[in-house]
Structure 1
Amino acid sequence: MAPDLRQFFRACNPGKTIRFEDPEERNYYIDFSSVRGGEVIEELGQTIALMDPDPTCQLFSGHIGCGKSTELLRLKKELQEKGFHVVYFESSADLDMGDVDVSDILLAIAHQVSESLEAAKISTQSSYFNRLLKECVDFLNTPVELGIEAELSLGIGKLTAKTKESPQLRSQLRQYLEPRTESLLNAINRELLQPAQEELNKQGKQGLVVIIDNLDRVDNRPIASGQTQAEYLFITRGEQLGGLRCHVVYTIPLVLMFSNELQALKNRLGGGANPMVLPMVPIRLREGNDCEAGMALLRQMVLARAFPQATPDERLASVTEVFDSPETLNQLCVASGGHVRNLLSLLFTCLRKRKSLPITQDSLQLAIQEAKDDLTATIDAEEWELLKQVHSSKKVTGEEECQALLRSLFVFEYRNHADGRWFDINPVLAGARELS
């Protein structure tokens, strides 16, 4: 069977996240939990289900592009099927990720939760927020038509949109809100979350879950206190972010997993539980042996986008409709390093250049070389030395190495039950003369 080239091309868009509410797109999903060292999403969901009605605050991390958003949308769907009201949102929609403070995050949560509740016909009237919004507009001395008499979400949304586009207004708003952070948090709990929980219970629903994606993208720059912005938000102010009286899942920067303050993060924001990390899909094991189970799933991830309705065996039988040989598909999977967005990016590049099927080994090698050139151009001499050490030791230690190697996707993290946790260089760098 021949794939639909246009549909295949669109399905390989590396910037697109699978929408689990769409039955057709769910066919693209491959469950990698069996080779990633644990069923991370199942653990997050099970904790919420077992702890309800007691609120939980859980932390979720991993490389940017490793598939966190896809897994969180899967979590949303599974919790909804269990009767929970789930509010999932990408924080970058409300926030400037280069300049974020606690009051910004709390307002974004209030905006997204109230909007979701209003869509479910649950009232979100709040005298505190109506008064606060009017005071904020008066303080900022800028024209914002809040429509306070209408939906709460509309008023908060207009205010956050206005301050997101203006650093000056954002700074002024923080000056006003900072001394009021505790009262803002209390109002969210008392006038928004608690009434919502009560109404959901009357409707026979389980609790309220808020999933905040993309907070792992906050800028890790140092701030005036000497901390990084991530340390300030999630550790110093962690108790406030963890004070919401509902189930919350925060995505956090991977660099915090290497911080000296990891235990403080765990206790202040994570409620004593370790953050959950989504690693790469292993293509090789710690000692260098091939990981056939990981490779098999990566092959299915690619072929599912070409043949979404087919069985796994049918897809494998049709591999030469997509690639000139099974070896070319294997080379694609190896070059990705098990990083799902990188895999799609290489595949997308091949399709964009060739504009026809099957994908040839030559076109794949060209895409890999381009990715290698782009990556090596950003690596300095000190980082090459670090890469040599990681290639040999399979370890990354400390915040500096994490920031230099992991955030830049020079190095990937892997985990499984047999080998535990290890690191290795991005495979497109393999064979670089600087590593010799």
Structure 2
Amino acid sequence: MAQAPQQLQVFFNALPESAQGGVDSSAFYVNRAQDDEHDPVLNLKQCIEWEALPGSYLFSGLRGSGKTTELNRLIRELQQGGIEAYYCDASVYLNLNDPQLSLSDLLMTVLAGFADAVRQQKGKDVLTDSIWERTKRLLHSDVQFKPKLKAPLGSSGASIEVEATLEEHPDFRKDLANFSAASSAFFDEANSFATEVANTINAGGSKKIVLVVDSLERISAPTGEERKLFDSLKEVFFNNPGRLQFDAISVVYSAPPYLHAVLPGVDTCFSQSVKLPNFKVITRQGDPNPEGIAQMLAILDHRYADWREILTEPVTEHLAWLSGGNVRRFFSLLRTVARKAALGKSALPINQADASPIQQALSEAGAPLQWLTAPDRQCLERFTQPSSQPAEHIQNLNTDLPSIIRLFDHSLIFDYQNGSTWYQVPPFVKQYVFAQ
């Protein structure tokens, strides 16, 4: 057995800050669905398989809820069923901190990501043209794209070779937005390029082709610009959903978790729309739910089987409950506990919920909540009611919407499912904010 500091370091590194996209993560997978009927991935997979024509699909989930892991599962199961499935990380191509997402931004991301993923799987020379050069010719642009670069994927150190990004070429992005606002030529060119890539990798057209576009749920806005973000998302996902559909490929778009809350009709704009809930570690009243907590511990078993040598089960169950069923927050708490235990030379296993490493981890995790404004706190308190729904708290978009977007964006409101979707404040946030 490793000595305590070494064991704590191994434990720390076994819990990644984020999942890597486009890989087989079945070794770590734990299904949160109560049955197949409520399994979002199976619902989406069935719809893709059964649809006669290519479609567009919406997949929403909070940051840290396990969305990338679920999308990895979707890709793997589609491939096992004979469907060509590819992964695109939107953060490679877009500045996700810019609230002004345009339709042309998203389509360039989709097509650039599609082409790069195909080259990654099929070989660099499989495609003779690129969406960058085709769009440049369409715009009669003299932009000089930077040389090909390696972009990171996830936290594992893996990377993908990409031709260019919109973030690196802001003038080109602006010219494209102006051009596409005045003409449909870019949208025709985009559909044509997608069809040509599909034909290249699928001679004879016998297979369905699916592209999963991840990380769009991370699109955020600086404080004060939330309405600008809402208007952008509404224009892209609600006003122009037909532009997000292609003749030759199906596309699964990830989306911010609050999109359904602030645009209830957005589901009808897509072939299928699914929402990924958090692991249900709490009841509607906020009490512990043993079944959901057991699922969180099962995730830990897959990541580091000897975790009980570091924390006892009751203590770990308490942290799982406090996390609200959000995998990223759960891992973050455990990682910090490991660091503090090593620094404090704590005796292992830690068997008290009020032990110093745990209290330090909770204090460190709670520090960022100091940014909450009075309206944010008032909005947060409303969501502690078991029957609360986001739309109930929007009387005026200009005054009420910013708080809801910020609270969802920072994972301070979680969604769960018992047949229907319901919302609750995770216990850690509830205890920290309202105890102040």
Q: Fold match, TM over 0.5? A: yes
Do residues 385 (structure 1) and 387 (structure 2) align? no
Provide, for residues 40-75 of structure 1, a one-character-per-residue CA deviation record: whole Å limited to 9, x for no partner. 0111111111225x1121111121121111110111
Q: CA deviation at 1:346?
A: 0.4
Question: Residues 127, 179 of structure 1: CA spacing in aligned structure 2 closer, same or farther, 3 A cutoff?
Answer: farther
Question: Residues 319, 127 of structure 1: CA spacing in aligned structure 2 closer, same or farther, 3 A cutoff?
Answer: closer
2:180/2:187 contact within 8 Å kept:
no
Q: Report the TM-score, using the length of structure 2 for normalisation.
A: 0.80
Q: CA deviation at 1:244?
A: 4.9
Provide, for residues 181-202 of structure 1, a one-character-per-residue CA deviation record: whole Å limited to 9, x for no partner. x333333333432562475254
State how far apart, in whole Å, the 1-side matches of 2:371 and 2:15 are.
Answer: 26
Match of 1:329?
316
Match of 2:34?
34
State how far apart, in whole Å, the 2-side matches of 1:17 and 1:145 are.
Answer: 26
State how far apart, in whole Å, the 1-side matches of 2:260 and 2:333 are.
Answer: 29
Q: CA deviation at 1:124?
A: 3.6
Provide, for residues 208-230 of structure 1, a one-character-per-residue CA deviation record: whole Å limited to 9, x for no partner. 10111111222354677x96221
RMSD after superposition: 3.3
Gaps of 5+ in 2: 149-160, 395-400
1:117/1:196 contact within 8 Å kept:
no
Question: Residues 345, 252 of structure 1: CA spacing in aligned structure 2 closer, same or farther, 3 A cutoff?
Answer: same
Question: Residues 289, 255 of structure 1: CA spacing in aligned structure 2 closer, same or farther, 3 A cutoff?
Answer: closer
Provide, for residues 313-339 of structure 1, a one-character-per-residue CA deviation record: whole Å limited to 9, x for no partner. xxxxx664121x322111111111101
State how far apart, in whole Å, the 1-side matches of 2:131 and 2:87 are.
Answer: 24
Q: CA deviation at 1:37?
A: 8.4
1:65 alignment partner AA: G
Structure 1 window deviating more from structure 2 (247-256 vs 124-133): it is 124-133
Match of 1:358?
349
Gaps of 5+ in 1: 148-155, 308-317
Question: Residues 433, 174 of structure 1: CA spacing in aligned structure 2 closer, same or farther, 3 A cutoff?
Answer: closer
Select 1:186's aligned residue among 185, 188, 191.
188
State how far apart, in whole Å, the 2-side matches of 1:349 and 1:423 are.
Answer: 27
1:84/1:207 contact within 8 Å kept:
yes
- Percent of aligned positions that are identical: 22
State how far apart, in whole Å, the 1-side matches of 2:308 and 2:189 are.
Answer: 60
SS of match in other structure, 1:254: coil
Question: Residues 289, 64 of structure 1: CA spacing in aligned structure 2 closer, same or farther, 3 A cutoff?
Answer: closer
Match of 1:108?
109
Match of 1:44?
44
Question: Residues 10, 170 of structure 1: CA spacing in aligned structure 2 closer, same or farther, 3 A cutoff?
Answer: same
Structure 1 window deviating more from structure 2 (354-363 vs 287-296): it is 354-363
Structure-to-structure mapping, 1:25-174, within 5 angstroms:
26-34=26-34, 38-52=38-52, 54-97=53-96, 98=98, 99-118=100-119, 119-120=121-122, 123-125=126-128, 130=133, 132-134=135-137, 136=139, 138-139=140-141, 141-144=142-145, 158=163, 160-161=164-165, 163-174=166-177
Question: Residues 145, 430 of structure 1: CA spacing in aligned structure 2 closer, same or farther, 3 A cutoff?
Answer: closer
Question: Residues 191, 304 of structure 1: CA spacing in aligned structure 2 closer, same or farther, 3 A cutoff?
Answer: closer
1:69 alignment partner AA: T
Provide, for residues 334-389 of structure 1, a one-character-per-residue CA deviation record: whole Å limited to 9, x for no partner. 111101110011011111222375345411222112222332x0222223223332
Q: CA deviation at 1:393?
A: 4.1
Provide, for residues 254-306 of structure 1, a one-character-per-residue CA deviation record: whole Å limited to 9, x for no partner. 222122x432x2333x13x4x21111111222245532111111111123221
Question: Residues 327, 372 of structure 1: CA spacing in aligned structure 2 closer, same or farther, 3 A cutoff?
Answer: same
State how far apart, in whole Å, the 1-side matches of 2:176 and 2:307 are.
Answer: 56
Structure-to-structure mapping, 1:261-340, within 5 angstroms:
261-263=263-265, 265-268=266-269, 270-271=270-271, 273=272, 275-307=273-305, 320-323=308-311, 325-340=312-327
Select 2:234's aligned residue among 221, 231, 238.
231
Select 2:364's aligned residue among 365, 370, 386.
370
2:22/2:75 contact within 8 Å kept:
no
1:392 alignment partner AA: Q
SS of match in other structure, 1:143: coil
Match of 2:152?
none
Match of 1:313?
none
Provide, for residues 376-406 of structure 1, a one-character-per-residue CA deviation record: whole Å limited to 9, x for no partner. x022222322333222344132252532432
| Displacement over 6 Å in runs of 4+ | none
2:21/2:89 contact within 8 Å kept:
no
Q: Report the TM-score, using the length of structure 1 for normalisation.
A: 0.80
State how far apart, in whole Å, the 1-side matches of 2:130 and 2:27 are.
Answer: 46
State how far apart, in whole Å, the 1-side matches of 2:145 and 2:367 are.
Answer: 48
2:281 alignment partner AA: I
SS of match in other structure, 1:164: coil
State how far apart, in whole Å, the 1-side matches of 2:147 and 2:381 are.
Answer: 56
1:20/1:26 contact within 8 Å kept:
no
Question: Residues 175, 421 of structure 1: CA spacing in aligned structure 2 closer, same or farther, 3 A cutoff?
Answer: closer
Question: Residues 434, 165 of structure 1: CA spacing in aligned structure 2 closer, same or farther, 3 A cutoff?
Answer: same
Do residues 247 (structure 1) and 238 (structure 2) align? no
1:350/1:367 contact within 8 Å kept:
yes
